[in-house]
């Protein structure tokens, strides 16, 4: 009797070891931010395969007969408040663009705000969160949908609900297709690619030290705005990629949440590794980081919208003036519409 109790005690102790491994992950807070659901990944893989296949087979076909188009990819989780302004921008150019919308299924949209160009342009979407690779997935889904939909889509512009145009469609089109005789394989993508930034190392190790190796050495890690305009061959490269995605799809460590901005790294890193020469290394979407709080840029309010602001936002240090700007609060619609014809869309 007495002699058996130390035995039972040690037996219980022994049995409790696997139990700790079983129970601990269920009661301790998770070490990482939420992962992408496996089912979403499987759906995406099937879509991306189809888009890659159809695009590589169309490379061997003669170029599409219609003039090249711009695919506008709207990535949103709230109302498309500036639809009326974009509608003016698109007016008269319906043969030169297509529009696609990825709306977070958890958001409630006021559909009565949509203007004709936006109606029926929603693609199958999945939930998105800030600081998560779900934003990359959403952008890739938009690229895949646009690649599959129309072989005439030659440029792919990512736009959010807070973006506004700074120029007319004619100027945007002329900027992208600056040399009409330039063969499509030499068209450049307008994507910001920055190699030196003070926080780059913290962001590189957001999933753990050495985690990105061997696919992505630190020397190849880049940062840049998610708001790009990609040439078609680069859109295909993004949708085809499995190698870098294997790393970027992994959620950041909870402890390094403040350095978690996967969507600002995936696209510039991938394209800089695959075809740095084929990219401008700057974006056409202006943003104001002065006085930014919590990783959010300045949000323009209705009181700030003037003709002078539009002219100021267009000004860039690159060859081309900015075509788009962010972020604007929904209430800016009215003052923006007031200067749309006289300033924004005036050539």
Q: Which residues bind ligand NAG (CB under 6 A)?
A: 110, 112-113, 288, 290-291, 298, 309, 312, 315-317
Smallest gap, in angstroms, from Cβ of residue 291 to ligand NAG?
3
Measured from the CB of residue 227, what is the shortest distance to ligand NAG in angstroms?
Answer: 15
Of 309 and 331, which CB lies nearer to ligand NAG in the complex structure? Answer: 309
Q: Which is nearer to ligand NAG, 127 or 309 (CB)?
A: 309
Q: How far is the CB of 324 from ligand NAG (least distance, A)?
A: 14
In the complex with ligand NAG, which residue's Cβ is closer, 4 or 290?
290
Least Å from the CB of residue 77 to ligand NAG:
16
| Min CB(259)–ligand NAG separation in Å | 23
Nearest to 283 by CA among 295, 301, 271: 271
Per residue, the 3-state secondary structure of the chain, as one string, reads CCCHHHHHHHHHHHHHHHHHHHHHHHHCCCCECCCCCHHHHHHHHHHHHHHHHHHHHHCCCCCCCCCCEEEEEEEECCCCCCHHHHHHHHCCCCCCEEEEEEECCCCCCCHHHCCHHHCCCECCCCCCCCCCCHHHHHHHHHHHHHHHHCCCEEEEEEEECCCEECCCHHHHHHHHCCCCCCCHHHCCEEEECECCCCCHHHHHCCCCCCCCCCCCCHHHCCECCCCCEEEHHHHHHHHHCCCCHHHHCCCCEHHHHHHCCHHHCHHHHHHHHHHHHHEEECCCEECCCCCCECCECCCECHHHCCHHHHHHHHCCCCCCCCCEECCECHHHHHHHHHCHHHHHCCC
Q: Closer to ligand NAG at the Cβ: 96 or 175?
A: 175
The minimum distance between CB 317 and ligand NAG, in angstroms, equals 4
* Closer residue to ligand NAG in complex, CB, 205/343: 343
- Of 97 and 324, CB closest to ligand NAG: 324
Please identify, using beta-carbon distances, which residue of 312 and 334 lies nearer to ligand NAG: 312
For the CB of residue 164, give the shortest distance to ligand NAG in the complex, in Å: 13
CA-wise closest residue to 184 among 217, 209, 151:
151
Which two structure tokens, joined as six digits, stand for 325?
């700007």
Q: Which residue is nearest to ligand NAG (CB)?
A: 291
- Closest approach, Cβ 26 to ligand NAG, in A, equals 40
Min dist CB 283 to ligand NAG, Å, is: 10
Q: Which of 176, 179, 285 is nearest to 234 (CA)?
A: 176
For ligand NAG, the closer CB: 317 or 342: 317
The span from the CA of 73 to the CA of 316, in Å, is 23
Of 136 and 344, which has the nearer Cβ to ligand NAG?
Answer: 344
């Amino acid at each position: 009797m007495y002699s058996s109790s130390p035995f039972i005690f040690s037996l219980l102790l022994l049995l409790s070891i696997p139990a700790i491994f079983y129970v601990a992950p269920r009661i301790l807070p998770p070490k990482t931010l939420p992962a992408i659901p496996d089912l979403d990944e499987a759906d995406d893989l099937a879509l991306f395969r189809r888009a890659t296949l159809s695009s590589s087979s169309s490379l061997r076909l003669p170029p599409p007969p219609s003039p090249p188009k711009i695919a506008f990819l709207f990535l949103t989780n709230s109302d498309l408040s500036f639809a009326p302004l974009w509608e003016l921008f698109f007016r008269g150019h319906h043969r030169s663009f297509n529009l696609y919308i990825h709306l977070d299924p958890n958001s409630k949209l006021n559909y009565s705000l949509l203007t004709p160009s936006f109606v029926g342009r929603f693609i199958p979407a999945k939930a998105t969160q800030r600081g998560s690779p779900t934003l990359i997935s959403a952008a890739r889904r938009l690229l895949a949908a646009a690649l599959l939909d129309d072989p005439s889509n030659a440029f792919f512009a990512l736009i959010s609900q807070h973006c506004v145009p700074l120029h007319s469609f004619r100027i945007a089109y002329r900027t992208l297709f600056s040399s009409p005789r330039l063969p499509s394989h030499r068209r450049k993508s307008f994507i910001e690619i920055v190699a030196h930034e003070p926080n780059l190392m913290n962001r590189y190790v957001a999933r753990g030290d050495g985690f990105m190796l061997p696919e992505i050495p630190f020397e190849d890690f880049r940062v840049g705005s998610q708001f790009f305009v990609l040439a078609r061959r680069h859109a295909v490269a993004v949708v085809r990629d499995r190698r870098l995605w294997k790393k970027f799809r992994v959620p950041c460590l909870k402890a390094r949440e403040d350095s978690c901005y996967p969507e600002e790294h995936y696209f510039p890193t991938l394209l800089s590794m695959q075809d740095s020469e084929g990219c401008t290394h700057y974006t056409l979407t202006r943003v104001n980081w002065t006085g930014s709080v919590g990783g959010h840029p300045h949000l323009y309010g209705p009181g700030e919208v003037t003709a002078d602001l539009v002219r100021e936002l267009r000004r860039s240090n690159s060859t081309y003036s900015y075509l788009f700007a962010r972020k604007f609060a929904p209430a800016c619609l009215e003052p923006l519409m007031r200067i749309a014809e006289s300033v924004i869309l005036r050539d």
